[in-house]
Amino acid sequence: MSPKEGEEGDQRRESVSGPLVHLLLDNIRSTYNVGSLLRTAEGAGIAHVHLCGITPKPDHPKVAKTGLGAEEIVPWSYHPNARIAAEALVTKGWRIWSLETGARAEPIFAIRTGEADRVVLAVGNEVTGVDPALLDLSERIVCLPMDGAKRSLNVASAGAVAIYWLRFG
């Protein structure tokens, strides 16, 4: 299966079971983080990746460096605006969950997804996080518990943990 820009990606790969999960990258700056997240998405069986705003596309050479071929496998689409992309997904029955810190955030490990769930995990910019307009659309805001002095992980690391929990937790 080769991805094409604009494919919906709702079809589960034959070997993939469990909840159907999409990944939405909201203004991710780093090509290396995008490549790493695409590689994680491929490994975890993510059905589709939505690249939004300034997020580099998979054809960028530095995305390919960390994607290691995953950028050629995972279905993806580009959207200039994450909020508009999320609104369209909500009208199709998708539930938006944003990975972010803050008062509304609940630990992701306290949540279980079911076989029939259709969740879009939104991860945000390395500095500013998930856009507030996208947070407003989110059914849930989830976080990773942090016990150290640093209160967050790199977006690719945090995204990987959350993706695997949603798919297999």
Residue 2 lies in a domain: no
114 domain-assigned: yes
Residue 64 has pLDDT above 90, yes or no: no
Radius of gyration of the chain (CA): 14
**What CATH number is given to the structural domain containing 156?**
3.40.1280.10
Per the structure, how many domains does the chain have?
1
**Average of per-residue pLDDT across 145-152:** 86
Query: What confidence score (pLDDT) does residue 166 get?
Result: 95
Query: Exposed, middle or buried: residue 32 (CB in 10 Å: 0-12, 13-18, 19+)?
Result: middle
**Which run of H or of E encompasses 30?**
none
Spacing of C-alpha 78 from chain mean position: 13
At 4, the pLDDT band (50, 70, 90 cuts) reads: very low
Say if 7 falls within a structural domain.
no
The answer as to whether 4 is a domain residue is no
Q: What is the pLDDT of residue 15?
A: 52
Average pLDDT, rounded, for the chain: 89
- Does the residue 138 lie in any domain? yes
What pLDDT is attached to residue 117? 87
- What residues contact 93, with CB distance under 8 A and at least 6 apart? 118
- Residue 15 inside a domain? The answer is no
Distance CA 22, CA 101 (A): 20
In-domain check, residue 110 = yes
- For residue 124, what is the enclosing H or E element? none
Element (H, E) at 167: helix 155-168
Q: Let me know if residue 29 belongs to a domain.
A: yes
Q: How far is CA 11 from CA 7, 55, 110, in A?
A: 10, 24, 28
Considering only CA atoms, which of 88, 30, 84, 108 is closest in space to residue 62?
30
Which backbone phi and psi does 73 adopt, to 5 degrees?
-110, -45
| Domain interval for residue 25 | 20-168
